[in-house]
Every structure is written in structure tokens, then in C-alpha cells.
Structure 1
Amino acid sequence: MVPLSDREREEAARLLNSALGGEIQDLAAQAGIEDIAINPDGRAFVYDSAGKRRLETRFDADRRSQIVTLAARFAGVVAEGRGRLSFAADLPGQIRFQGGIPPRAVGGPYVVLRFLPRTVRSFQDYIDDGVAPIEGREAEVAWDDHEGVGIGLPTMDCIAAALAAKLTIAVFGETGSGKTSLLTSMVNHPAVQPDRLVILEDTPELQFPCVQDVLRLSSIGLDMSDLLRDALRCRPDRIILGEARDGVFWIFVMAQYTGHSGGLVTLHASNPADFFDRVEQMVAQAGVDPAPQRRVLMKTLQRIVWIRRRPGGGRDIVGVYRPDGYDAICGYKLARIDVPHLAYEGYGIAHQPMLWR
């Protein structure tokens, strides 16, 4: 990295905006824009809450190369070695840049702009926008200890109750499903605001305007497992793991299991069946046999929230679940504890134990 003066950064940003052009600048000023992708063939697409659409502008190879070069200049990326192939950078206006050139990019330079949310959505926003179901139900079973927290409540109330009780919550979904946005809402929830948060991210994405006592740690230049160990020494009330990807997840689980409760984490999985498959994969990546640890995993991951993209655009918080045992034949069992009667593509109903795998 080559640090630039403020004047040099301003000039690089001006030239970059000019290269991107008016159509993208206009989109960047709009609320709700999530990503803009400029492909090696010159076509550009915008992604927002309504779905995907193609832009009128077509970007030739020279212009795409110019955008990548100017973004590298703004970020101070040295144009040698791997820096010539692809890189990521933070641009003004809460924009995350990812771009590359051949040979890493087959067919020509490419650009992806990710627009981080400019505002934090409240739980009520999720309800008002139709993302979260609003009906609840009466609990039909007497639950002990944390198992009873939030049972029978509408979806967002169920999550709020879990936050207030300092349960460990995992949010999962596919790429682009809105996991980070939901995690941001949870981090800024009134039940979390008084706590000291230690936030661990590969690249900073979470916003926390409502929280005063925050330590944000980045894995840049440091292994994430070392970063998590650092976090344990920083007196956290809650540890927030922006995205679990590998064996560091097992360290997070152990931290929650041994007294650092109330942690929040996101991970990639397409459905509840894939969720525990992914969990076991990450445990195995830590060099730990997941089979003897299943009881620990089920006891630690106290609430599991599934969010997904709608086929036609938008998102759904499908439900809130808790682990409900393990069967040697069928695998993990999950019980849905929020809305009772909403089946989602045949994935089971209500509070009845559901078998996955």
C-alpha cells in the first residue's frame, strides 16, 4: 500500500467518479442500491431490493481498465505482483470496490461495487416491509431455562427476546440474502446497546451508531483465529463474528460455551439442512472431530435465524429455530419457535421438530 495525501485522494476520487459516469453516480445516490457489477463483456447490472436489472451504459475495455486503475490509485494499491490482478478497496460514500484485470479476470477487466447500507433498519422496518412474519402463537410446551425464551412470539419479537436474554444467535442464508443487514439491526437493538461489543470482521461492514462501547478488530495482517483470541482478552460483553468461514468458528463456539454468552454470528447456508452441515465442516477445519461435539454445538447455538432472497426480489426472514436434538439416522432436529403455520417450500411447520439432512 502507498499512502496518498488528502489532495491526491481527492483527485483520484474525482477522476474515478468521472470514469464511472453519470448513470452509476445517480444510482449511488439512491437508497436501496446494493451492488453494481460491470462484467468483462462491458455489460453492467444493478442489484437492489427489487431484484436485478441491466443498465443502459456499456463499458468498453479501456474504460473498465481505467476504473480499476483509478480505484487502485485511490486505495494506494501497488501495481505490481498480485496487485496487478485483483484487489478490494473502500471508496467514499460507503462503497466497497472489488475489481481485477487479466489474467485473473478472463475476458477483460471487471468491477463490482457493493453499497453498504447508509441507514440501520429497525426491527419494525422488517415488519413494515413485509420481510418478517407478524403473527405469533401461544406456547404449547413448558420449556426450561433458555429454551423458553421467545417461544410463540412473532418473528422479530422472538429475536428481540433472544437478544435480551443474551442467547447466542446464528444468522444464516445464501449470498446476498441480507445477513449482514439483519446482523446490523441486531447489533443496534436496544437490548444490545448498553453492552461492550467486540466486533470481528475480515472487511468492515457492520454499522453501530446506537452503541457507544465498541471495539472493532480487523483480520488484515492477522489470522482470524488470533484475532478472536485477542477479542477474548478485551472484556467483551458480546463477541460479534461478522462472518464465519472456517475453523475460527469452533473458537467462537468455545468462547460462547465457556461463558462469553450473547454472541452473534453469520454464516452461509441455503437451508436448515445445510446449516449444520456447514457448521460441522467448519468445526472439522479446526482439526476437531464434530461428531463428539454435537451436544456442545446444539447447546451453544441457541437461536438460529434463516433469511433468504425471494425469487422475484426482496427478502424473507423465514423463521427462528432452536436445536432440538440429534438422531443417528436423520441427523439434527430443529424446532421452529416463532410463527406456527407458515410452511416455506415444504420445510416443515411450526414448533414441531423438523428433521434435516
Structure 2
Amino acid sequence: MPSRLLFHPPDRRGSDQECRVTQLRSHSRLVRKLQDALGDQLCVALDDATVVEIMLNPDGKLFIERLGHGVAPAGHLSPAAAEVIIGSVAHALQSEADDEQPIISGELPIGGHRFEGLLPPIVSGPSFTIRRRASRLIPLDDYVKHKIMTEAQASVLRSAIASRMNIVISGGTGSGKTTLANAVIAEIVANAPDDRIVILEDTAEIQCAAENAVALHTSDTIDMARLLKSTMRLRPDRIIVGEVRDGAALTLLKAWNTGHPGGVTTIHSNTAMSALRRLEQLTAEASQQPMQEVIGEAVDLIVSIERTGKGRRVREVIHIEGFANSRYQTEHYAQIDEDSHVA
């Protein structure tokens, strides 16, 4: 016996329709309640395409980061107002927010923005951060225009895309890895519009306008490694992973090495070379054998992006030519001048 029906019996169509209407109304009420809790200032900020992140500190100070302008003060929020926001988000996520469950994480029903909320006793006052989901793609030309990337770096990236190189984008928290990945994917789609692209993520952040694309997401019971195994049966031309963060990195590298070149992923690492070390650590979770040769063969280009006091910038781009004589064979392209101005 199947565990669930894969169709709706004809005599339940009316009730199913009523159920969907009820769900839509419930969602609308939930969104309105959350908008009321957020208030005009935060709702306007979430509608602003230049906003990257909204941060409330435990002392009530509010900060907003905007593309090309960095982080700037944005006033204050009372503890009571902050608690209402966190409580409303928890309700929307069907969770609890109290001193026993003081951490609230998830996607807002408004725009799919990523929310992380904290309550006492782990902080002195209610605090939250909202990572705004990009509503528009930022093309590579705009990266050059805003001095986040040099012309030479953009040229290397475009050449790598045309050559179906596997690209790893590295950076720290809030450095703009996913936003840059979206720009690279847009270039891929423009360069190879007929390619079938399979995208794997924990949280839906990748934007892809390809005609032939499949997006998969992890769940409480399906992890990234399982998704990657399924991906191999979906006939992908390119495999894109939002972020590698565990032993599934080895499965991805092997997929890239076995007839699926031209992939993209991001990794949490502060420099291009440390991204290679991080990949070694992740692959070690899935294998007792050293995987440097696999990494050296699978990864073609590493793009390192960072967040500075002036904003974001692509710090360096390196080409990985392989692994030999106990070291990675690399060629550095378009390394940015430390004294250069960035937007």
C-alpha cells in the first residue's frame, strides 16, 4: 500500500478547493500580521533592491547594509517592538520564541528573506538579522561599474564560463558569495542557453533563468549527498550547488570530474587558497584517503570575494591546474591592488 495518495478523488474536489482558499487566506493574514510587526521602515527596506542586510543589535541600534554603500546606522528599535517582530516570525514559521527556544531561524513568508532572531538569555536584548533575498540579478558589468570587480577579473570569469570550467566562489559571511554566483549563472545561461542545469540548495537563494533547469532542496530527511546522487540520474549538463559545507563536497567534485563540467558552487573561506584547504577538510568527512588530486582535477577556478569597510570586492581569481609534488599547481589572475578603491 502506498503511504499517501498521488491523486485527489473526484468527490473531494470541492473540499480541496475550499482548503486551498482557506490556506491562501491564512497566508495573507500571516503576511499582514508580519508586515504590521515589522513596521513601515523595515518593510520599505525589504522592498529596496539595494538593501543587502538589516541588523538589529541587542542595544536597539539598527543598521542597514546597501549595495555599494556598506553598513550605515538606521535608527533604533525598542525591545518591545523587536520582541513582537521575532514572535511574529516564529508564529509564521510555526515555531516558538521564548527563553527555552531563544533562537529563531528560517525564511520569511515575505519575499523569502532569511531571518535569524535571538532572545534573552543568550543575548542581553532581542536581536535579529534579515538577509534580504536579491530581487534582481546583478550582472558582471555592474560589478565592474561599482568597482567590486576589475575588468580583467570579469574577463577571466567569462572565459572560464565559455570554457566550461568548474568555478568555486569563496568568501566569508556576508561577503556576497551567492549574489556573485547568481551573476555567474546568468552568464552561463546567456553563453549556453540550451544546457540543462540542476541546482541543489539548503535554502532557496540561487536565481536561474534557464529554460531547462531543475531546483532541488534539502529537507530534514534528505541531505545534500542524497540530492547529488539523485542529480546524476537527472541528465544534468551543469551541476550547481548553493554552498558546500560537508562531506557531500566529495560527491560534487566526483560529479564534476565525470562528464559534468561547467559547475558552480560557493564555499565559506576567506581566501582562494584557504578554499582548497576547506575542500580538503570537507572531503575528509566522506573519505579517509587524501583527496587533493580529486580537488586539483575538479576545481578549475576559485574566485575570492570579501567584505571590507568600503563594501565588497573580488580580491583574487586563481586557476587550479592540478595537484602534483604535494602542492596545488596554481596561476593567479587579476589580483586586486590592496590600495584600490572599491564601492
Q: TM-score, normalised by structure 2?
A: 0.84
Report if the CA contact (8 A) 1:324-1:335 is conserved: no
Cα deviation for residue 250 of structure 1 reads: 0.6
Cα deviation for residue 313 of structure 1 reads: 1.8
Residue aligning to 1:271: 271
Give the stretch that moved more between structures: 264-273 or 311-320: 311-320
Amino acid aligned to 1:178: G
The Cα offsets for residues 120-145 of structure 1, whole Å up to 9 and x where unpaired, read as 122222222222212xxxxxxxxxxx
Cα deviation for residue 81 of structure 1 reads: 11
Cα deviation for residue 324 of structure 1 reads: 5.5
The Cα offsets for residues 304-354 of structure 1, whole Å up to 9 and x where unpaired, read as 1122223322323533433464454xx4342114x3xx55449xxxxxxxx
Q: How many aligned positions are there?
A: 315
The Cα offsets for residues 137-189 of structure 1, whole Å up to 9 and x where unpaired, read as xxxxxxxxxxxxxxxxx322221222122121111112111111111111122
Indicate the SS of the match to 1:177: coil
Is the alpha carbon distance of 1:75 and 1:193 closer, same or farther for their aligned partners in structure 2, counting shifts above 3 Å? Answer: farther
Report if the CA contact (8 A) 2:104-2:115 is conserved: no
Amino acid aligned to 2:213: V
Cα deviation for residue 226 of structure 1 reads: 0.7
Residue aligning to 2:294: 296
Report if the CA contact (8 A) 1:88-1:99 is conserved: no
Cα deviation for residue 80 of structure 1 reads: 9.4
Residue aligning to 2:179: 181
Is the alpha carbon distance of 1:275 and 1:261 closer, same or farther for their aligned partners in structure 2, counting shifts above 3 Å? Answer: same
Cα deviation for residue 299 of structure 1 reads: 1.4
Residue aligning to 1:47: 65
Gaps of 5+ in 2: 1-19
Cα deviation for residue 281 of structure 1 reads: 0.5
Report if the CA contact (8 A) 1:163-1:192 is conserved: no
Distance in structure 2 (CA, Å) of the matches to 1:247 and 1:282: 5
Is the alpha carbon distance of 1:83 and 1:199 closer, same or farther for their aligned partners in structure 2, counting shifts above 3 Å? Answer: farther
Alignment of 1:93 with 2:111, yes or no, is yes
State which of 138, 149, 159 in structure 2 corresponds to 1:121: 138
Q: TM-score, normalised by structure 1?
A: 0.80
Distance in structure 2 (CA, Å) of the matches to 1:323 and 1:344: 24
Residue aligning to 1:238: 238
Residue aligning to 2:194: 194
Distance in structure 1 (CA, Å) of the matches to 2:56 and 2:306: 24
Alignment of 1:59 with 2:73, yes or no, is no
Distance in structure 2 (CA, Å) of the matches to 1:175 and 1:309: 9
Gaps of 5+ in 1: 135-153, 347-357
Cα deviation for residue 288 of structure 1 reads: 3.1
Alignment of 1:28 with 2:46, yes or no, is yes
Residue aligning to 1:216: 215
Distance in structure 1 (CA, Å) of the matches to 2:323 and 2:88: 54
Cα deviation for residue 211 of structure 1 reads: 0.9
Cα deviation for residue 92 of structure 1 reads: 1.4
Cα deviation for residue 237 of structure 1 reads: 0.8
Cα deviation for residue 239 of structure 1 reads: 0.7
Distance in structure 2 (CA, Å) of the matches to 1:100 and 1:42: 13
Distance in structure 2 (CA, Å) of the matches to 1:90 and 1:56: 22
Cα deviation for residue 75 of structure 1 reads: 3.0
The Cα offsets for residues 7-63 of structure 1, whole Å up to 9 and x where unpaired, read as 222222222222222222222232210111122332222122211122212221x32
Cα deviation for residue 193 of structure 1 reads: 3.0
Report if the CA contact (8 A) 2:241-2:264 is conserved: yes
State which of 156, 159, 175 in structure 1 corresponds to 2:157: 159
Pairwise CA RMSD of aligned residues?
2.5
Indicate the SS of the match to 2:240: strand
Is the alpha carbon distance of 1:21 and 1:14 closer, same or farther for their aligned partners in structure 2, counting shifts above 3 Å? Answer: same
Report if the CA contact (8 A) 2:171-2:305 is conserved: yes
Cα deviation for residue 247 of structure 1 reads: 0.6
Report if the CA contact (8 A) 1:178-1:315 is conserved: no
Cα deviation for residue 82 of structure 1 reads: 8.2
Aligned-pair identity (%): 29
Distance in structure 2 (CA, Å) of the matches to 1:186 and 1:43: 35
Amino acid aligned to 1:334: T
Report if the CA contact (8 A) 1:244-1:265 is conserved: yes
Indicate the SS of the match to 1:17: helix
Is the alpha carbon distance of 1:344 and 1:245 closer, same or farther for their aligned partners in structure 2, counting shifts above 3 Å? Answer: farther
The Cα offsets for residues 202-261 of structure 1, whole Å up to 9 and x where unpaired, read as 1000111x3111111111121111111111111111110110111110110111112222
Cα deviation for residue 84 of structure 1 reads: 6.3
Is the alpha carbon distance of 1:217 and 1:294 closer, same or farther for their aligned partners in structure 2, counting shifts above 3 Å? Answer: same
Residue aligning to 1:305: 303
